[in-house]
Amino acid sequence: MEKGFVQIYTGDGKGKTTAAVGLTLRAIASGYKVFFCQFMKGEESGEIRALKKHSESIDVFLCGISKFCVNKKNPSREQVKAARKGFELAKKAIFSRKYDLVVLDEINMAICYNLINLEDVINILKDKPSSVEIILTGRNAPSELYPYADLISEIKEIKHYYKEGVKARRGIEY
Name the pLDDT band for 3 (thresholds 50, 70, 90): very high
Task: Enumerate the domain spans of the chain.
Answer: 6-164
Residue 38 to residue 35: CA distance in whole angstroms? 10
pLDDT reading at 118 higher than 80: yes
Pick left, alpha or beta for residue 123 (phi over 0 → left; psi -120 to 50 → alpha; otherwise beta).
Answer: alpha
Which residue type occupies 99? Answer: Y
**pLDDT for residue 168:** 83
Residue 130 to residue 96: CA distance in whole angstroms? 12
* Average pLDDT for the chain: 91
Q: Which fold has domain 6-164?
A: Rossmann fold (3.40.50)
Coil/strand/helix, residue 142: coil
Task: Find the mean pLDDT for residues 63-89.
Answer: 83
Which residue type occupies 152? Answer: I
pLDDT reading at 69 higher than 70: no
Question: Between the CA of residue 41 and those of 45, 56, 157, what are the distances in Å?
Answer: 9, 23, 21
Question: Rounded to the nearest 5°, which phi and psi values hold at 55?
Answer: -60, -20
* Threshold 0.85, pTM exceeds: yes
Beta strands at 101-105 and 133-137: parallel, antiparallel or unpaired = parallel
Task: Give the pLDDT confidence of 33-67 residue by residue, as tens digits.
Answer: 999 999 987 677 888 888 888 889 999 999 887 65
Coil/strand/helix, residue 41: strand
